[in-house]
Chains A and B, each alone.
Chain A
Amino acid sequence: MKNEIIKLLKKKSFYIVTLIFILFCILTNIVYQTSMDYVTIEEVDIEELVAMNEELDLTQDEDLLIYVENLTTIKMEELKKTYRSSVQEYLVDHFLYTPIYRFYESMYILEDEELTQLYQNNLDEYIEYVKDNNWEYFLDERIQYLEERVNNTQGVEQMRYQELLDLAFYRKENNVPYDDGNYLHRSLDFLEENMVEYVNLLHDDYLTQDEEERLSFLSEKMSLHEYVITHKQDILNETNLRAVLANFPAEFGIFILIYVIMLAGSIVSEEYARGTIKSLLVKPFKRRTILTSKLLVVLLLIPFIMIFMSVIELVIGGIILGFDSLSVPIVLYQDGVLLSYSPLGYLACLLISSLGIYYVLGIFAFFISTVTLSTSAAITISFLFYLLLNVVSNLALVYPLPVFKCFVSLYWDFSYLVSHQAQPYGASLFTSLLVIFAYLFVMLCITYVTFMKKDVKNI
């Protein structure tokens, strides 16, 4: 046993893959660090609007409306260029449209000088607030407005306003500015923007297919954002170590696969290729014992590699992205229920749930390695086997032919248990385990029989 481990650890290929893995790890973490939520903001072309306004016939009512609207947009853009902080931009976007529009409306449509003067003063006042970053003022106004709406409406409408009012109160109590850099603001903003649609859909008894889908999409997103504001935990941040860890098995699974197949696929055949099998077999042990010790190494190797890789990622990710985010849980939404895991616990669960895949593939590589005595065959065939099985799994989702049920790849992934989903192919846990063990058993039987009978050929 100890010998086998030493032999594996001293191999060059092990270090090469590890080096590549570490580089990959560093790059991934840097990518995570620099990735932003790229929200594509539509650039407003001011010049185009100005040109458009010049061509309008202001004697026509319709054109006049467009004219005023364009002027409003141009003014807002100008303000945003002057006041560039995230809070100011938000305030201009969300609170200044009406005052500006009113001002131009009174000037060009109503042509009421008195009113224009009043609105001009109003607008100047607002702009002053924006300039001072005085978002609390706007919030108070919004609360006043919403309270008034709650008192004067009924039914679903009232409910909508009540929800929005609650959010506004939350913002005031927790002193959350309109700042995109603040995760609480981001969640509040999402909730505020989608609340009306959500409440409407929720109270609509006759939903179309599209609306149903939209509702379930909104339910998931809203639940997660609500979690953020109730628990004050930044669970939606995708640029920290926690997020890297949550995606770790998906992104680094290929490395686990490479390690497992490379090491399990060479552990027997390498000895034959180098001739060292002779000195191994003439030791006072039964052949069975020798093969079993190699098998045990493969079995232990798989969890060891997972831990080894996770630790490397944890250290590298921690250095690049910082460790603070580990205190924030990972929250999943499933059928109206929120599941919360600690990041490391979640990672562990995902890795454990994927053990089936790696055990089947590892033992497969071990089996091919022993039967063919060729490392390259073992590694190549194992990868092809993995690709084939993935294709089969995908086909099985589309065409549920009975023949697909014989393939282990329909059963070997247990990650659905972590997210509390249904087994994708409808198999029970017991059936899944049974199929996996049957596969392992058959492969091991053939491996043992072959190894026991194999002659060491003359060179």
Chain B
Amino acid sequence: MEILKVDKLCKRIGKKEILKDVSFQINEGDILAFIGPNGAGKTTTIKCILGLQRISSGSVVINGYDLKKNYVKAIERVGSIVEEPDAYLYLSGMENLKIQARMYKNVVMDDVLRVVELVGLENRIHDQVNKYSLGMRQRLGIAAALLNSPRLLLLDEPTNGLDPEGIKDLRVMLKRLAASGVGILISSHNLSELESFCNRVCILAHGRILEETSMKELKEMDDTKYILKVKDTSLCKRLLMDNDRVIDEHYLEVVRDEEDVASFIRLLVENHVDLYEVKKENMSLEEAFMKRKDGDGID
């Protein structure tokens, strides 16, 4: 079932177009990786979805409610962290959560305790937030985002400041939430962290969506990388193409699909190059992304 549908979202500030025709959707159980370089418009998109910034044109529909027409209903089951995890520093973690909980109709004390346990902050929850580390504030932010048992979770760079343990916990938690039907959007510039558990990817640059696809498809994109071990790489230089490169005197890296790599091997043999080893390497999400950007001629 469709939880979030963003359709032709545009955002202009003055004459500057911040977002242009951004469209994507999140279904039940989806974990969407929202990827883009700094200034691509990731945060702005999230803010528009949350109603924090006004939409110039286009529409956002959450749980079947149009954000513009029925804001209260649309936002009711949404949890979010935007930019920094924000909390009232002079209050304790618990007081912060209680304040947030009071603003939802159906959230009770049990929910507060439940999310505290979920993010593992039980021991420090009564300390003032200004004594928290960034990672702990991030955990508190995630706890707050989960208070209202959201159906849609929007996380803007949630791994910032988390230690590896924290990232692992988050990963486990998000997978479990997705399995229970929550739709999740995660933006991050640390793409390798998302690779392992996101099922879909949305690549954003300069306010436009470059690609919206499943993680599987992205990984299996035609171009695959092969590492070849040869006796002497200097003999092969004239056979290489633009994307290929010489690693050292024995190793070569070439980007070919399966068909092409076979003909490349044949070419090496015909040219009397001694070939010792061929190894297929899947490109990481990051590399695929960078390559995609290059292909579009955008820096």
Interface residues, chain A, with chain B CB atoms under 8 Å away:
2-3, 6-7, 10-12, 274-276, 278-286, 453, 455-456, 458-459
Contacts and interface: CB of A to CB of B under 8 A. Distances in A.
Contact of A2 (B90, B100, B102, B104): B102
Nearest to A289: B72
Contacts of A279: 86, 100, 144
A3 B95 CA distance: 10
Contacts of A286: 71-72
B91 interface: yes
Given A282-B50, A282-B75, A285-B103, A10 B91 contact: yes
Contacts of A453: 54
B154 to A, nearest CB: 9
Interface stretch (B76-84, B269-277, B282-290): B76-84
Nearest to A456: B52
23 contacts: A3-B99, A6-B95, A7-B91, A10-B90, A10-B95, A274-B89, A275-B84, A278-B83, A278-B86, A279-B100, A281-B51, A282-B50, A282-B51, A282-B52, A283-B100, A283-B103, A283-B104, A284-B72, A286-B72, A456-B52, A458-B44, A458-B83, A459-B83
Nearest to A281: B52
A240 to B, nearest CB: 40
Contacts of A285: 72, 103
A11 B90 contact: yes
A72 B99 CA distance: 83
A278 B54 contact: no
Nearest to B84: A275
Contacts of A459: 83-84
Contacts of A10: 88, 90-91, 95
A277 to B, nearest CB: 8
B83 A284 contact: no
A339 B193 CA distance: 79
A255 to B, nearest CB: 22
B99 A456 contact: no
Nearest to A12: B90
Contact of B99 (A6, A274, A282, A284): A6
A280 B80 CA distance: 11
A293 to B, nearest CB: 10
A282 B78 contact: yes
B57 interface: no
Contacts of B72: 284-286
Contact of B47 (A2, A3, A283, A458): A458
How many B residues are at the interface, by size bracket? Answer: 20 to 34
Given A278-B52, A282-B52, A283-B104, A7 B88 contact: yes
A328 B80 CA distance: 61
Contacts of B53: 455-456
B87 interface: yes
B43 interface: yes
A263 to B, nearest CB: 14
A120 B84 CA distance: 99
Interface centre among A7, A280, A283, A459 (most CB of B within 10 A): A283
A274 B86 contact: yes
Given A2-B102, A456-B53, A276 B91 contact: no
Contact of A275 (B50, B78, B80, B83): B83
Nearest to B39: A458
Given A10-B95, A284-B104, A458-B43, 18 more contacts: A6-B95, A6-B99, A7-B88, A7-B99, A274-B88, A275-B84, A276-B87, A281-B52, A282-B50, A282-B52, A284-B105, A455-B13, A455-B52, A456-B47, A456-B53, A458-B47, A458-B83, A459-B84
A12 B90 CA distance: 8
Given A455-B53, A455-B54, A458-B43, A276 B88 contact: yes
B51 to A, nearest CB: 7
A288 to B, nearest CB: 11
Nearest to B49: A282
B102 A3 contact: yes
Contacts of B13: 455
Contact of B86 (A3, A7, A11, A275): A275
A97 B80 CA distance: 93
Contact of B75 (A2, A11, A274, A284): A284
Interface string B22-51: 000000000000000000000110010011
Nearest to A459: B83
A7 B51 CA distance: 24
Nearest to A4: B99
A349 B51 CA distance: 46
B52 to A, nearest CB: 4
Nearest to A13: B90
Contacts of A283: 75, 100, 103-104
Contacts of B88: 7, 10, 274, 276
Nearest to B154: A282
